Structure 1
């Protein structure tokens, strides 16, 4: 079992790897890492636009997750909170670079294999024997379509679901509703129109204009552009966009399903099957969480 610190480092290196395959900048990766770090420390989702105000002028105990009940090093917590604050600076030039970030984190990684129950000083939980995993099947029409690599069916699902899964992906302040913002939303609207008309090349261009502005992030836009790339026989680009959708929405089955299709197109069948299984597991968890007792 990983500690919070280990999970944070693992996610950081994952984001760093994505840096070389996606349309992001080093500064934006550092900013995203700062949001993840603060979420891990505080135990809650804090909008980046409010993060610095929350940390400013408050002691460490007020920022840290109350469920930890003080079972952490004040020195380490102070270092991490200060690091999160640096990563979330408004001006990209004021954020630390990757080398500095790693140089701060590496000394904190003193114990590699420490279960969370040891870190928290509680008794080791009794592990009940688990049944062997059963063969997994896609649990939704999207899963079925992706397992068949039926791009037409995938298109129909993405078109009909619209932006339903984007809720909560963006929290914008009033100041961000500028002309640039309106232009960006207009680009997405034009992309949606081209997507509806199955003009996939035009949709790619419009969605790219939306993504390049960088004010909003939309997992649905990445998923739609991923499908457009598949329709245009560009599986490498499709895979990158599907990965970006996963970064924006880590528990979104559609992001995993789109990766599965792209990987299959790239003749990476074993990886494609793994992605299908992960997506079906996420869907199963989602169904269980919404099931009425």
Structure 2
């Protein structure tokens, strides 16, 4: 790879220089990336979050925030279509409700484009939940260690290092310098594939967990002695993150430092990066990592000096992150099925033809609730309402279809996502887009992984003039449909 070993063999013992007095390009506000377009922190009811996550459905469990059992993270969607990540704690965690609320509110004051920001929380009875911005493009661990289409490029790895350093600098400036268990699972990628730091690690630790993973090889030495997290401990963890970026593996710091001291740099660097970097850049990044991994906490850098050191290393700064990552930035570059295309065009006639042809076969795996009355005369009456709606839907008498399906739903003996989907389209045909959106969302509550529910939401959102939300929902529908066909 052309790295000059002579340059790499001497800096393990280099102590941290004082933070540079030179100004980093851009104003403090620009560098800190403070954002004002996010809603203010709020307290959610458990019922709101239950609806948003389709009853905390297994299908909505995600690993984007690097959380492991017993704390689980779900993806969800609020009534205003904002996508969220909901972390639900084990019932034994945070026994002190006041402490939980105070800590959540403090973290919720942070607003920065380098963070996956905290939007709110829920504290009802024994329930303790956090609500954050949802990051759809997975974790650094996924893209570094388990990539499928392409390895992460050198320029993108440098961008990750800078963005996370900037996130830590911002948090430090807001007196939130402590971050618990910084690792590749805590780095997330937003809609445009820009790297962000999960806000969940900013919460002071609850009773049911520890500040660091059980793998002692990656734990700051002083934490092993005292059990306490310090700002310097965070810098040590940042050093392990740099090793991940350099090697493409989760390599123990002691092993990495041995390789550096032995001038065996080729064993440290990711072979997938061949030809992408200069020896000077590799030398500098390894030097920064080594400073972060110093045994004595006082010899490690602070976030501001990290940012100062990382800015000059940046490459391809005009290239959007999604291009560097090979990730489509919007639905326009994502192939859509005929139904997806019809919803994008709001071609209601084409949507009707597809849904009519599909029939009820997608109801097979849906959650169905039956009562004893289904085997009585009331069941026959209920099925008559469905037949009435289906006949009207087939003959494009959408007002009558709405009436028949509404009567079927109000009886309440059965939950059918297809019924809600058909009534949703009928509402669209009758120029009632808000009602159509509500029904499409209800279909998704019943069957969270059903792509047609997402597509119909997108069509309703387009009619309502919410183009950005519609494109996001179309993309979700396309991903769900792809997964369905892969099974």
- TM-score for the superposition, normalised by structure 1: 0.60
**Is residue 139–residue 283 contact of structure 1 (8 Å, CA) maintained in 2?**
no
Task: Tell whether 2:362 aligns with 1:165.
Answer: yes
Query: Matched residues in 1 for 2:212 and 2:390: separation?
Result: 49
Shift of 1:218: 0.9
Task: Return 5+ residue gaps in structure 2 as ranges.
Answer: 1-43, 62-67, 71-88, 96-121, 131-179, 181-198, 203-207, 219-240, 250-323
- Select the residue among 160, 163, 186 that pairs with 2:384: 186
Residues 131, 207 of structure 1: CA spacing in aligned structure 2 closer, same or farther, 3 A cutoff? same
Residues 10, 154 of structure 1: CA spacing in aligned structure 2 closer, same or farther, 3 A cutoff? farther
- Select the residue among 105, 115, 124 that pairs with 1:103: 124
RMSD: 4.0
Task: Tell whether 2:405 aligns with 1:207.
Answer: yes
SS at match of 1:76: coil
Which residue is equivalent to 2:48? 13
Task: Tell whether 2:153 aligns with 1:153.
Answer: no
Q: Would you say how many aligned residue pairs link Structure 1 and Structure 2?
A: 214
Query: Matched residues in 2 for 1:118 and 1:209: separation?
Result: 53
**Is residue 368–residue 415 contact of structure 2 (8 Å, CA) maintained in 1?**
no
| CA offset digits 1:257-282 (Å, max 9, x no partner) | 11111111111111111111111122
Query: Matched residues in 2 for 1:74 and 1:236: separation?
Result: 36
Task: Tell whether 2:446 aligns with 1:248.
Answer: yes
Task: Tell whether 2:473 aligns with 1:282.
Answer: no
**Is residue 123–residue 129 contact of structure 2 (8 Å, CA) maintained in 1?**
no
Superposed counterparts of 1:8-87, under 5 Å: 12-15=47-50, 33=55, 36=56, 76=92
Residues 227, 120 of structure 1: CA spacing in aligned structure 2 closer, same or farther, 3 A cutoff? farther
- Out of 163-172 and 247-256, give the one that drifted further: 163-172
Query: Matched residues in 1 for 2:327 and 2:435: separation?
Result: 33
- TM-score for the superposition, normalised by structure 2: 0.38
Query: Matched residues in 2 for 1:68 and 1:17: separation?
Result: 21
Which residue is equivalent to 1:63? none
**Is residue 222–residue 241 contact of structure 1 (8 Å, CA) maintained in 2?**
yes
Query: Matched residues in 2 for 1:145 and 1:262: separation?
Result: 12
Task: Tell whether 2:469 aligns with 1:271.
Answer: yes
Which residue is equivalent to 1:4? none
**Is residue 386–residue 408 contact of structure 2 (8 Å, CA) maintained in 1?**
yes
